[in-house]
Amino acid sequence: MKNIMRFTLLFVTLNLSPISVQADEKLNEGLMKIVKEFTPSNALLVSPEKPLSTPPVQLYDFNQDGQKELIVTYKIKAKEQPSPSQYGVIVLKKINNEWGKVWETKTQGVDLNFSGLADITGDGVKEYLFGVTVGAAVGSNLEIFQWIDNSFKNIAEVPYHEIDLLNGNQKVGMAVWRMYVADSYLVDVLKWNGEKLVNDKELYSKYYSVIEKFYNDKISKMDTWFYWYCLADAQIKSSLFEEASKSIEKGSLLAKKLSMPEVVKIFNKLSDRLEEKKYGMYN
């Protein structure tokens, strides 16, 4: 599945660096033999769409003992097309000079969208993030795994269509774009609170200019109600109440001109949400 959006602009001015993953070194022939030994015979090693230039085999020392584990992503193509393929990941660990498989997970989908490492919890050890695309309309599902007792525990799952990982204070923030209508998206910015991923107002406000630029570019090419709706949603989340009110007015007017009463109702509800947040801020 081709990337729908590219969010590489504005990161410098925002001081929000997208997280990238690089191979520590090229795997030697011996390690490649180990990888082949533990992957299914009918599997193909695959690289994810994101982060860019991520290899199918990554190395990381999860338990900080000086010995890096191998993270291997693979694909088993469905025998009958266009049935979903199976995407999997295994972690290989060297114990007493012998390699063994300590963890594996697999899921069905149409593409491996994400496979990377980021310190989501802020404990100094990176979590493993595994995102498989289910379909163009449904999007992808991101599973976040924390290393505990020489294995992984699933600590969160996030549905998304596009995702950005952002450097925050110690912990990594996550901008999640979910499809609304056509090529419009509602955006949440999440951060770990010690127990789960929650909306982070401060990080959202810093990321808002990325969202604003995206919709300003869209509106300049096609002035339609759903772009205004998503922009207003982002402005409400950023506490930009005056801007949100103007966006709601513009979007609602477009819906009225097109005789779309149900859409006008949607904007009325968004306006109510705006007023509720304003009231909560000032009372």
Residue-wise pLDDT for 247-267, tens only, equals 999 999 999 999 999 999 999
Neighbours of 216 (CB within 10 A): 11
Q: Work out the mean pLDDT of the chain and round it to a whole number.
A: 89
- The answer to whether residue 36 sits within a structural domain is yes
Residue 161 has pLDDT above 50, yes or no: yes
Query: CA-to-CA distance for 164 and 209, rounded, in angstroms?
Result: 14
- pLDDT band at residue 169 under the 50/70/90 scheme: low
23 and 148 share a domain? yes
Residues 203 and 67 in one domain: no
Which amino acid does the sequence have at 45?
L
- 233 part of a folded domain: yes
Q: Which one, of 89, 96, 153, 103, lies nearest residue 125 by Cα?
A: 153
Q: How confident is the model at residue 2 (pLDDT cuts 50, 70, 90)?
A: very low
Shared domain check, 233 and 130: no
Say yes or no: 152 and 21 in one domain. Answer: yes
Domain count, the chain: 2
List residues bridging with 47 in a β-sheet.
none
- Domain end among 110, 128, 161: 161
Could you tell me if 75 and 154 lie in one domain? Answer: yes
Domain boundary among 113, 129, 161: 161
Q: What confidence score (pLDDT) does residue 80 get? A: 78
Sign of CA dihedral 7, 158, 270, 257: positive
Whether residues 125 and 193 share a domain: the answer is no
Which of 93, 128, 161 is a domain's end point?
161
Are 27 and 148 members of one domain?
Answer: yes
Per the structure, the complete domain to which residue 109 belongs is given by: 1-161
Q: Residue 168: inside a domain, yes or no? A: no
pTM of the predicted structure, to 2 decimals: 0.87
